[in-house]
Amino acid sequence: MSFDRLIDKIIEMKNPTVVGLDPKLEYVPEFIKRRYLDSDGWTLKAAAKAIFDFNQAIIDEIHDIVPAIKPQAAYYEMYGHYGIRTLEKTIRYAKLNGMFVMTDGKRNDIGATMEAYSNAHLGATAVGENQLEAFGADALTVNGYLGTDGIEPLLKVCRERDKGIFVLVKTSNPSSGELQDMKLADGRTIYECMGDMCERWGEDTRGKYGYSAVGAVVGATYPEMLTELRQRLPHTMFLVPGYGAQGGGAEGLKGGFDEKGLGAIVNSSRAVMCAYKKEGCDERDFAKAARREVIRMRDDICQYINLK
């Protein structure tokens, strides 16, 4: 009922990063694709199988370095139910390897429908007397546009099962400001207002490090806002996308962390999954290349923060 489990892992591994598993089929090396696509045909099913093998090999190589993975639901949904099966298997495999799993789904709805999403991704689905985990992730990204009705059902599951959520506050994309940076009549921006709601929603779920179960997504591409929000939201853990491929540098991340080097976890997806392409190494070494990249990323970020 806080982010203590995640923060414990970050401290233990001295690594405040998470690997985004957003596996486009073009990222998967040919030798893996050939396993399924040549024999089974170029189908959604074959693609989904190849992607699972790809994820599994990366998890094998990074789980002792990186505390968490963040699978992006869209890249599984695009293969229909076959892709969703791969998402389930990926989450299970990462958890078996001791990793913290945050599903990037940006889900949002109200009341009973949000309860269904909460049960699906973080809790369990009741079928008769049985309580069955559909996905069983540790955290979920969500969109707060609908207000408290969309957040309460999540908080219930977070309390019961020691899970967490990350609410979109200031996203990393170029047009994030169109709505998020607009000034309210009370002087705040919309993203500040959303951030303030995160503090309120998380109020009674704070853990031993001071951070609640309600985190915020704040993009690395806006370093001043990251710094300003760290001050403004002292109990809100940040999930920070936009490092690396999207253009955010390590030094700019500094402001997202507190004086103990906590309070933020930085995501990298493509740079890890495609490290073998950038290195130009043999594609059969893709997972080793991913390992080298997560070590490089950890060291790059840790030089600017005070994580003991």
Judged by CB under 8 A, the chain residues 107 through 136 that form the site for a second copy are: 107-114, 116-117, 119-121, 125-130, 132, 134-135
CB of 301 to a second copy, least distance (A): 22
Tokens of 224: 């001043």
Report the site for a second copy in 265-284 (rule: CB under 8 A). Answer: none
- Residue 195: CB atoms within 10 Å: 25
Q: Is 92 in the site for a second copy (CB under 8 A)?
A: no
Known catalytic residue at 163: no
How far is residue 168's CA from residue 175's CA, in Å, rounded to a whole number?
A: 14
Task: Name the β-bridge partners of 167.
Answer: 142, 216
Interface of this chain with a second copy, residues 152 to 181, rule: CB under 8 A: 168, 171-180
Nearer to a second copy, 7 or 197 (CB): 197
193-222 binders of a second copy (CB under 8 A): 193-194, 197
From residue 19 to residue 58, the character string flagging contacts with a second copy as x (rule: CB under 8 A) and all else as - is: ---x-xx-----------x----xxx-xx-----------
Q: Is 97 exposed, middle or buried (0-12, 13-18, 19+ CB in 10 A)?
A: middle
CB–CB of 213/205 below 8 Å?
yes
Query: Position 181: which residue type?
Result: D
CB atoms within 10 A of CB 144: 21
CB of 187 to a second copy, least distance (A): 8
DSSP code, position 248: B
The residue range among 81-89, 226-234, 289-297, 299-307 that interacts with a second copy, by the rule CB under 8 A, is 81-89
Q: Cβ of residue 94: shortest distance to a second copy, in angstroms?
A: 16
Q: Which is nearer to a second copy, 114 or 275 (CB)?
A: 114
Cα separation, 262 vs 305, whole angstroms: 9
What are the residue numbers of the active site? 106
